[in-house]
Structure 1
Amino acid sequence: MAAQARALSELGRVQEYAGRLEESLRTCREAVEWARRAEDTRLQAALHLRLADSYARLGDPASAALHRSTAERMLAEEAPEGDSEPEHDANACEIRTTPAED
């Protein structure tokens, strides 16, 4: 299931780069659901960050903030007791953002 979520995440990235942001959002939301089923919290958080970036590009700061805070909460809950910085997992979904156009 986690592999399905990662594959959908990559598809969402391709859709985003192609300028199909609405389709990318749908794909990434589906990827979040697959990551949830796989109980992969770090992947879910990474996908929420991807969604936050996409919503920010679409000019929806409220949705962006919601997804960003969800990701931060998930990572904080997963962090070991007394560890303020969650470790970076090599298997976590890589999130790449495109630079803002001037």
Structure 2
Amino acid sequence: MPKYLISFPAAAMQVPEHELAQVGHDAHAVIEDAKAAGVYVFAGGIDESIAPALVASDGKVTAGGYTWAPALNGGFTVLELTTREEAIAWAARIATACRCQQELRVFGLDTQL
């Protein structure tokens, strides 16, 4: 069954501070519904207090991410769903809870693993 990534960058969520607690409550409620429906794989956000690192094939570590790429931050949810239509419906629920549009992508899983 396909796994879908539903995500948003941190800058997309422009919510007044006094509404953040309600947004958190609403988002957690959607995740609880996904768990109850048996479609939840994982969810969370990038911990921006820990800087990214680039790791080369020889193990050398360089502080920071790719300088040419947009920052990878925000919230992420992975759900296992039967159809794209289901994924769109869940993404809409998350968008409502988070008060911002969600990007929807499907994982291309390696069937050799």
TM-score (norm 2): 0.31
TM-score (norm 1): 0.33
Larger Rg: 2
Higher strand content, 1 or 2? 2
| Higher relative contact order, structure no. (Cα contacts within 8 Å, ≥ 6 residues apart) | 2
